[in-house]
Amino acid sequence: MSVLDEVLSANAAYAENFGDKSELALPPARGFAILTCMDARLDPAQYAGLSEGDAHVIRNAGGRASDDAIRSLVISYKLLGTKEWFVIHHTNCGMQFFTDDVMRGLLANSLETAALGDAGFEDVGTGPGSAEAKYIDWLTIADQAESVLEDVTRIKAHPLVPSGIPVYGYIYDVSTGQLVEVPEATAAGAAA
């Protein structure tokens, strides 16, 4: 069952009331970017008080500082003028429920969706799978605060990131909606 019709219907209603949003400037009005997880429970517009056009929001599995996320942040700064960045991971993240080896094993067995049980993810597919997963660093998370610190540190150390951009580190609590600072990460991300 596809959600295609629902999405297109919602888009038609949105476009009908689009108004002056076509006049929004290309650079984000509030001059900052957020790197966060793709988890559907996170709504950066709500938890960060954003309106359309306010900020860049870069999302991937875990909100990790992958090469592509850093690419987006560099474009955000270099071409569109953002001056502050946030790395925001979250509690109860799916990236904590497996390791690279588990993911590689699941994909080697089957490309079908795995099931999450008490013992972790389990392959319920019939195959075939692929060994290509062994070439990917899945950037899994063992410790939330440590992963935020790692990502902020990686971003700050990147040769394409100017030292004057502060990078703040937070964990979004999915049970309360609060952003909880990771002080070590924010300290590591301080502007020079």
| pLDDT tens per residue, range 129-152 | 999 999 999 999 999 999 999 999
Question: Does residue 1 have a pLDDT over 80?
Answer: no
The hierarchical CATH code for the domain 28-98+140-192 is: 3.40.1050.10
Q: pLDDT value at position 176?
A: 98
Contact residues for 101 (Cβ-Cβ < 8 A; gap 6+): none
Position with higher pLDDT, 126 vs 52: 52
Q: Mean pLDDT over all residues of the chain? A: 96
- For the chain, the structural domain boundaries read 28-98+140-192, 99-137
**Residue 151 CA to chain centroid, in angstroms?**
11
As a whole-number percent, the residues of the chain with pLDDT over 70 amount to 100
pLDDT reading at 13 higher than 80? yes
